Amino acid sequence: MAKKKGEQIEPEVLEELSAAEKEISAPEEGFEAEEVEADVLEELATAEKEMMAEVPELVQCLISSAIDISNMKYVNE
């Protein structure tokens, strides 16, 4: 919920936000931040390659659907 100008944020909420921020910014135990970042980048690159491999098939499906819709349009006229 949005706070009105001049309204105070409750101390408990500030504490929770601070704790969450520390947890997010701290690297996992046993991992260096660089290792975690490299793993995430590698996963993203793999996901991107997989998605790009599907693009030609998706384009062909879209073209086929467009042709089908176009043909139905002429049949109904």
Summarised one tens digit per residue, pLDDT across range 7-23 is 677 778 778 888 878 77
| pLDDT over 50 at 1, yes or no | no
**CB neighbour list of residue 9: distance below 8 Å, 6 or more residues apart:** 3
Distance CA 42, CA 47 (A): 9
Q: What is the pTM of this model?
A: 0.38
Q: What is the pLDDT of residues 19-76, one digit of tens each?
A: 878 777 766 666 565 676 888 888 889 999 888 988 898 899 999 999 999 888 776 6
Distance CA 35, CA 27 (A): 10
Q: What are the CA-CA distances from residue 68 to residues 61, 64, 72, 76 (Å)?
A: 10, 6, 6, 12
| pLDDT over 70 at 77, yes or no | no
